Amino acid sequence: MYGRVITNCIPKSSFFLFGPRQTGKTTILESLKPVLNINLLDPGIHLEFSKNPELLKKKIEGLDVKSGLVLIDEVQRVPLLLDVVQMMTGSLPDLHFALSGSSARKLRRGAANLLGGRAVVRSLHPLTMSELGGNFDIDRVLRFGSLPKIYSTAEHGDEDLAGDLLKSYVVTYLQEEIKSESLVRNLQGFQNFLEVAALQFGEQVNFSNIERDTLVSYSAVRDYYSILEDTMIGFFLPPFLRSRRKRMSHAPKFYFFDNGVTRAILGMHRSGVSPLERGRLWEQWFVQEVCRTNDYHRKEWKISFWRTSHGAEVDLVIERGREVLCAIEIKSGKTVSSGDLGGIASFRELYPHVKSYVVHGAGETLNLGGSTLLSAGAMLKKLVDEF
């Protein structure tokens, strides 16, 4: 029911479409009317192709077609199929493949064949502000996130069901992505880690403190964060370290891919957003939006944050190549004073020629202390149009 930006940039060639579960990958790919649809989430189909990946070649030859689209859903579950895909793209150049999965990193870690440049990569995320259009509601996004089915359920007034779906998402993730794929030996330890990581989203990661809080080893904490990245449940935001490295804070931040899932991990999926939560959730949402914009519009930005050892901080610094394009401070409030802009003022002292912005909860555009204050929507549009 929502228009997706990614449909405008699906190539007329073979491609991977990566994204977390329930973002809508299958719906989008099935709308392309494939000549063959193989869903590896089906246990019977998964077993069939796991035993005999060459079966893919036989099924394609049985179609008696030399062009069209073949859809393989959740291809990471049988990585050896990619060898067959590469062979078929060589022998049938007009036959293209749409290959969905949870993560390119997961395939690479398993030394899977990523087709050597024969297939482009696209990523699908939860619904963006622009995709929701007039249906966008910031309070709903902060509370329930923007996975299509869950957002739609909450939008139609069934908040209890939306909460149930969020809880189910987390349980399914733990059972199917983590347990059934044998990604960790200690499921309870991973679950403890997941809750601590969710408590600390948007903060710089202190691996030693998390080791102490979760009672799992330092190396396990690092591995667990890698699992969150591999399954596209979250992502690191690195620090900007262009100059004065000795004065800079080096630890990365970690954000989750969806606010509703973050709150469900913490068991807060049935409650409203508290004032203490709102600012952090607002920041995470806007960082998500910038990362989604980067992917969908193929901007090739490098996105980071800036923080000194003395605590001066800017939430986002956006670069392309060696050029620093802009710095963005994120504020959820509807009013911003000069006292709120100490971090971006410190950044401007070092980088006076870099454009600086403050995203805030009000709608008006203002100028304060050399930085432009914009609404979230106006800032996202500016990023697309000007950077």
**Residue 50's CATH number:** 3.40.50.300
- 290-335: pLDDT as tens digits: 999 999 999 999 999 999 888 889 999 999 999 999 999 999 988 8
Q: Which residues of 106-145 are buried (b: 16+ CB within 10 A; e: fewer)?
A: bbeeeebebbeeebeebbbbbbbbbbbeeebebebbbbbb
Give mean pLDDT, residues 78-102.
88
Q: How confident is the model at residue 346 (pLDDT cuts 50, 70, 90)?
A: very high
Query: 161 with 257, same domain?
Result: yes
Query: 200 with 325, same domain?
Result: no
In a domain, 233, yes or no: yes
DSSP state of 70: E
Q: How confident is the model at residue 205 (pLDDT cuts 50, 70, 90)?
A: very high
Query: 168 with 217, same domain?
Result: yes
Q: Which of 123, 148, 174 is the last residue of a domain?
A: 123
- 134-172: pLDDT as tens digits: 999 999 999 999 999 999 999 999 999 999 999 999 999
> What's the pLDDT at 300?
95
Query: 175 with 190, same domain?
Result: yes
Helical pair 55-63 and 43-51, crossing angle rounded to 10 deg:
110
What CATH number corresponds to the domain at position 372?
A: 3.40.1350
Residue 246 has pLDDT above 70, yes or no: no
Q: How confident is the model at residue 287 (pLDDT cuts 50, 70, 90)?
A: very high
Q: Which of 123, 150, 178 is the last residue of a domain?
A: 123
Q: How confident is the model at residue 245 (pLDDT cuts 50, 70, 90)?
A: low
In a domain, 292, yes or no: no
> What's the pLDDT at 157?
94
Query: 268 with 228, same domain?
Result: yes
Q: Which residues of 173-193 are buried (b: 16+ CB within 10 A; e: fewer)?
A: bbeebbeeeebbeeeebbebb
Average pLDDT, the chain: 90
Per cent of the chain over pLDDT 90 is 69
What CATH number corresponds to the domain at position 174?
A: 1.10.10
In a domain, 366, yes or no: yes
Q: How far is CA 164 from CA 159, 234, 261, 264, in A?
A: 9, 21, 11, 9
In a domain, 291, yes or no: no
**Number of domains the chain contains:** 3
Q: Which of 96, 123, 150 is the last residue of a domain?
A: 123
Say how far apart CA 236 and CA 229 lie, in whole Å: 8
> What's the pLDDT at 218?
93
In a domain, 333, yes or no: yes
Query: 233 with 251, same domain?
Result: yes
Query: 66 with 168, same domain?
Result: no
Closest by alpha carbon to 326, among 357, 287, 295?
357
> What's the pLDDT at 249?
67
Give mean pLDDT, residues 279-298.
97
Q: How far is CA 263 from CA 104, 117, 278, 297, 313, in A?
A: 26, 38, 12, 29, 25
Query: 214 with 243, same domain?
Result: yes
Q: Which domain holds residue 60?
A: 5-123
Residue 19 has pLDDT above 60, yes or no: yes
